[in-house]
Structure 1
Amino acid sequence: MKKIFKIIGAIALVLILSVAAFLYFSSKPLPEGEAGIKAEALTDKIQTAINQKAWDSTAAIAFTFRGIHHYVWDKKQNLVQVKWDDTKVIYNNKTLEGVAYKNNKPLTENDKTAVIKKANDYFNNDSFWLIAPFKLRDAGTTRSIVIQDNQEALLITYASGGSTPGDSYLWFVDQNYMPKAWQMWVSIIPVGGIETSWDDWQNFANGLKIATNHKGLFDLKLENVKTGQTIEEVNEGVNPFTVL
């Protein structure tokens, strides 16, 4: 028995050392960029390519993240419905006030607070994989140019907002200025500079473009993406926010 424990311990040690080595050799330092006219010009070109104006005028969105989190979002009113497992949460993502259900039974005032926060954390993370290219000029962002492989890349740092302020993203674009990948320096990932693709771009109303697939160290897929001007338009004629 002692021999078995020694073998298990040796395997665990090898795994720990392997992970530590991966983190050490894979991590990249956050690059320094140059803010100014060039950074703003590249931002303009990206926003034109993805049709920022169409996104700004979109009122309602529905999507599924990784097949497990299901969203309906009233962007104009800051209202979100999140469903996962046996849980449904309907709330205001600015005030974090709303209602929560388990197995279709409403939670008490005390119990729902933590569930709404969990739903909001899901929403902040999952929606970012849908709309990050439209947040290049959010309040609290800084933009700068970084030269990699003789090409301009756009470094965005978020000083505030979401669940993890302080995160940075280096955007790479194709010849048409469509985002094709980014590298991330984020608090929830211990490795700096992990790269993930932005692909499977789909066209929506008024020329809006949204990427629905991300490949990298981990792959993320967004499905059932719908956009519109009313909640009923994206949610099979139903407005879940009448309960608020």
Structure 2
Amino acid sequence: MKKIFKIAGSIILILIISIAAFLYFTSKPLPVGQEGTKAEALTDKIQTAINQKAWDTTTVVSFTFRGNHHYLWDKKRNLVQVKWDDKKVLYNNKTLEGVAYENDKKLNNSQKTDAIKKANDYFNNDSFWLIAPFKLRDAGTTRSIVMQDNQEALIVTYASGGSTPGDSYVWLVDENYMPKAWRMWVSIIPIGGLETSWEDWKTFPNNLKIATSHKGLLDLKLENVKTAQSIEEINNGQDPFTDL
């Protein structure tokens, strides 16, 4: 028995050392960029390519993230509906006030608070994979330009906002300034510089461009993406937020 424990301990130690070595040799430091007019000019070109103005005037978005998180988002009213498993949460993503259901039964007190918090954490993460290119100039961001793979790239750092402030992303763009990938330096991933693609760009009303697929360490898909100017347009003529 002692021999078995000794072998198991050795295997665990080898795994720990291997993981530590992988992280050490794979992780890269965040490159140092230069803020100023060049960075802002590159930001302008990216925003033109994806049609930032169309996004800013879009009122409602719906989408499914990785097949099991379903969202209906009224940007104008700051209202979000999140469905997953047997849960449904409708809330204001500025005040975090709302209602929550489990198996269509209304939750109260701490259960409701916990459900709204989880829904908001899901929303902050999942929606970022949909709309990050439209958040290059959010309040609390800084932008700088850096050379990556012999071309100019844009570093965007978030000093505040979302569930994980302080994260940085290096955007790589194609010849038309459409984002094709980013490299991440984020608190929830121990490997600095991990790259994930932005692809399968779809065109929505007013020539709005949204990427619906990401490939990297994990492959992520955004399905059932719709945009509109009212909830009723993409929700069978119903407004689910009347109870709020």
TM-score normalised per structure 1? 0.98
Distance in 2 (alpha carbons) for counterparts of 1:227 and 1:215: 23
Distance in 2 (alpha carbons) for counterparts of 1:240 and 1:121: 21
- Is 1:231 aligned to 2:231, yes or no? yes
SS at 1:15 equivalent: helix
Deviation of 1:217 (Å) = 1.0
- What aligned pairs does 1:115-194 form with structure 2 within 5 A after superposition? 115-194=115-194
Deviation of 1:203 (Å) = 0.6
**Structure 1: unaligned runs, 5 residues or longer:** none
Distance in 2 (alpha carbons) for counterparts of 1:43 and 1:165: 20
**Counterpart for residue 195 of structure 1:** 195
SS at 1:56 equivalent: helix
Percent sequence identity over aligned pairs:
78
Distance in 1 (alpha carbons) for counterparts of 2:64 and 2:110: 28
- What aligned pairs does 1:86-101 form with structure 2 within 5 A after superposition? 86-101=86-101
For 1:146, give the aligned amino acid.
V
Distance in 2 (alpha carbons) for counterparts of 1:230 and 1:7: 62
**Counterpart for residue 105 of structure 1:** 105
**Deviation string for 1:69-106 (max 9, x for gaps)?**
10000000000000111111000000000000111100
Deviation of 1:16 (Å) = 1.4
For 2:70, give the aligned amino acid.
H
Deviation of 1:67 (Å) = 0.7
Deviation of 1:149 (Å) = 2.3
Distance in 1 (alpha carbons) for counterparts of 2:57 and 2:122: 24
For 2:184, give the aligned amino acid.
M
For 2:41, give the aligned amino acid.
A
**Counterpart for residue 16 of structure 1:** 16
For 2:109, give the aligned amino acid.
E
Deviation of 1:243 (Å) = 1.1
Distance in 1 (alpha carbons) for counterparts of 2:37 and 2:198: 25
Deviation of 1:6 (Å) = 2.7
For 2:24, give the aligned amino acid.
Y
**Structure 2: unaligned runs, 5 residues or longer:** none
Distance in 2 (alpha carbons) for counterparts of 1:156 and 1:135: 9
Distance in 2 (alpha carbons) for counterparts of 1:29 and 1:54: 35
For 1:110, give the aligned amino acid.
S
For 1:76, give the aligned amino acid.
K
Distance in 1 (alpha carbons) for counterparts of 2:206 and 2:90: 28
Distance in 1 (alpha carbons) for counterparts of 2:98 and 2:6: 52
**Counterpart for residue 61 of structure 2:** 61
Deviation of 1:128 (Å) = 0.2
- Is 1:37 aligned to 2:37, yes or no? yes
Distance in 1 (alpha carbons) for counterparts of 2:47 and 2:136: 8
Range that drifts further, 142-151 or 169-178: 142-151
- Is 1:215 aligned to 2:215, yes or no? yes
| Residues paired across the two proteins, number | 244
Distance in 2 (alpha carbons) for counterparts of 1:164 and 1:157: 11
RMSD across aligned positions (CA): 0.9
Range that drifts further, 45-54 or 104-113: 104-113
For 1:189, give the aligned amino acid.
I
Distance in 2 (alpha carbons) for counterparts of 1:154 and 1:241: 38
Distance in 1 (alpha carbons) for counterparts of 2:189 and 2:236: 37
